[in-house]
């Protein structure tokens, strides 16, 4: 029996980063408790598309240097997804001109999913699913530890107590504590744990935001559906980048009638405009994002007008037909360290580094952090804690820099693929 059996791990944050790490420790035999601030109903239907494959060559190469195939998210699913849930394969990448014609086509081999599907698959693997889940339970095997996922639990503090870490949390206004041998902070870009350990590291607004959302491809005009389906389409123009790609439909369906067009549109907004856009239909202002159903209808109408003026007609049609878009401000955050309290506390995923979404590598980063933690904690895994910290921080610095360059070029520069011509008639 391995010497770590019965050791406890607490994971702060139960989104994808927390679940990846939770699954790794659980399969190594640790007893893992995930503490998630939100209730499952708040996480449902929140996400949009996620590229499982890392398509941008410099990032693929950087992941290869860390011993992965180049797409750590694909590797993670191959190693850990006992449900073998299929994803959607896309084979073509097309750059569009403003009039909707194709500027350039590139063959790709990319796997795509939705945030919600991945969340469901990970829950099925971690704690055999949850009450709103739709992926069948993966089942427990000999050697797995105990997996517990607690929702509606907000972590507020942590302290080193001898060989353990004490985590204080609040649930329904009641404060409690739990102790563990290892704590993983997977609590996102506004991480509470990072604020305690590295109060000087914060999120910095990048000067633009993303409009996101999905619509069933079968709701698009037939010509548009055929033009976009099964592809990743992208258009650049002054201060704007818009992307559309197909993702699995509701409940992970790959039925062509259910496939979704997933739109991501980067749009510039100064601080004042950001504040106005992130003020919801009831007048409440939000700092970094505005969820489904909260956008002021007048702001949505303004953006649909802008879509018609700026985007190629097929992408403008997708945007216009999204019933419930949501908005996220683009921010940067980067921690200079990822290991604390003598190797008992680890920062992973967005808590370590919030990457610009142009990289499409945020979820891959979290998967890579988890895969490398396996090498640290598996018997004879061959990686030391210091080596893990160096690998995770160096990669985060590199990827953040790549993302800043990509974002600055598309939003504030002169992108070589931009079409700044007249809007379509």
In the complex, which residues of this chain contact ligand FAD (CB under 6 A)?
Answer: 12-18, 35-38, 43, 46-50, 115, 154-155, 186-189, 192, 349-351, 362-363, 366
The residue (of 187 and 332) whose beta carbon lies closer to ligand FAD is: 187
In whole angstroms, how close is the CB of 17 to ligand FAD at the nearest point? 3
The residue (of 119 and 377) whose beta carbon lies closer to ligand FAD is: 119
The residue (of 14 and 313) whose beta carbon lies closer to ligand FAD is: 14
In whole angstroms, how close is the CB of 47 to ligand FAD at the nearest point? 3
Residue 355, CA atoms < 13 Å, CB-side half-sphere: 24
The residue (of 43 and 335) whose beta carbon lies closer to ligand FAD is: 43
In whole angstroms, how close is the CB of 191 to ligand FAD at the nearest point? 7
How many angstroms separate the CA atoms of 368 and 395, rounded? 10
In whole angstroms, how close is the CB of 362 to ligand FAD at the nearest point? 3
In 10 A of CB 253, how many CB atoms?
14
How many angstroms separate the CA atoms of 377 and 23, rounded? 13
Does residue 242 contact residue 265 with C-beta atoms inside 8 Å? Answer: yes
The residue (of 16 and 24) whose beta carbon lies closer to ligand FAD is: 16
Q: Which of 92, 118, 305 is nearest to 211 (CA)?
A: 305
The residue (of 140 and 154) whose beta carbon lies closer to ligand FAD is: 154
Does residue 201 contact residue 338 with C-beta atoms inside 8 Å? Answer: no
The residue (of 93 and 227) whose beta carbon lies closer to ligand FAD is: 93
With tokens 């505005």, the residue in question is 290
Q: Which long-range contacts (CB under 8 A, 24 or more apart) does 299-307 make?
A: 300/325, 303/211, 303/267, 306/267, 307/265
The residue (of 121 and 418) whose beta carbon lies closer to ligand FAD is: 121
Sign of CA dihedral 277, 281, 286, 288: negative
In whole angstroms, how close is the CB of 148 to ligand FAD at the nearest point? 14
* 8-state DSSP, 217: G
In 10 A of CB 61, how many CB atoms?
11
In whole angstroms, how close is the CB of 346 to ligand FAD at the nearest point? 12
Query: What is the b/e burial string over 4-37, where b = at least 16 CB atoms within 10 angstroms of the residue's CB?
Result: beebbbbbbbbbbbbbbbbbbbbbbbbbbbbbbb
In whole angstroms, how close is the CB of 5 to ligand FAD at the nearest point? 26
In whole angstroms, how close is the CB of 229 to ligand FAD at the nearest point? 19
Q: Which residue is nearest to ligand FAD (CB)?
A: 349
């Amino acid at each position: 029996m391995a010497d770590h059996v019965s050791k406890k791990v607490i994971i702060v944050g139960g989104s994808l980063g927390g679940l990846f790490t939770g699954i790794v420790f659980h399969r190594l035999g640790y007893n893992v408790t995930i503490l998630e601030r939100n209730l499952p109903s708040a996480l449902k239907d929140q996400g949009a598309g996620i590229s499982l494959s890392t398509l941008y060559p410099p990032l693929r190469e950087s992941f290869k240097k860390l011993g992965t195939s180049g797409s750590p998210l694909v590797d993670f699913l191959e190693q850990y997804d006992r449900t073998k849930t299929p994803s959607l394969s896309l084979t073509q990448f097309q750059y569009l001109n403003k009039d909707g014609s194709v500027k350039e086509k590139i063959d790709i081999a990319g796997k795509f999913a939705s945030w919600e599907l991945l969340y469901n698959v990970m829950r099925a693997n971690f704690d055999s699913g949850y009450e709103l889940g739709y992926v069948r339970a993966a089942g427990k095997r000999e050697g797995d530890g105990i997996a517990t996922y607690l929702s509606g639990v907000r972590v507020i503090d942590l302290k080193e107590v001898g060989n353990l870490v004490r985590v204080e949390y609040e649930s329904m206004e009641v404060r409690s504590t739990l102790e563990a041998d290892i704590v993983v902070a997977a609590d996102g870009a506004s991480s509470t744990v990072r604020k305690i350990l590295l109060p000087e590291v914060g999120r910095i607004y990048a000067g633009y935001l993303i409009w996101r959302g999905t619509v069933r491809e079968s709701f698009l005009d037939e010509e548009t559906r055929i033009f976009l389906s099964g592809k990743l389409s992208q258009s650049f123009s002054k201060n704007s980048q818009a992307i559309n790609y197909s993702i699995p439909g509701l409940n992970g369906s790959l039925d062509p009638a259910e496939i979704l067009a997933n739109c991501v549109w980067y749009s510039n907004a100064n601080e004042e405009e950001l504040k106005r856009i992130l003020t919801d239909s009831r007048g409440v202002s939000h700092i970094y994002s505005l969820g489904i159903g909260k956008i002021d209808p007048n702001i949505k109408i303004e953006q649909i007008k802008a879509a018609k003026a700026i985007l190629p007609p097929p992408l403008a049609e997708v945007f216009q037909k999204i019933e419930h878009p949501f908005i996220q401000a683009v921010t940067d955050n980067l921690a200079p360290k990822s290991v604390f309290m003598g190797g008992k506390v680890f920062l992973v995923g967005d808590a370590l580094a919030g990457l610009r979404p142009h990289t499409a590598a945020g979820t891959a980063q979290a998967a890579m952090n988890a895969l490398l933690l396996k090498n640290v904690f598996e018997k004879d895994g061959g990686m030391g804690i210091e080596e893990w910290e160096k690998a995770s921080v160096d990669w985060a610095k590199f990827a953040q820099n790549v993302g800043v360059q990509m974002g600055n070029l598309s939003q504030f520069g002169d992108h070589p693929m931009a079409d700044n011509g007249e809007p379509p008639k």
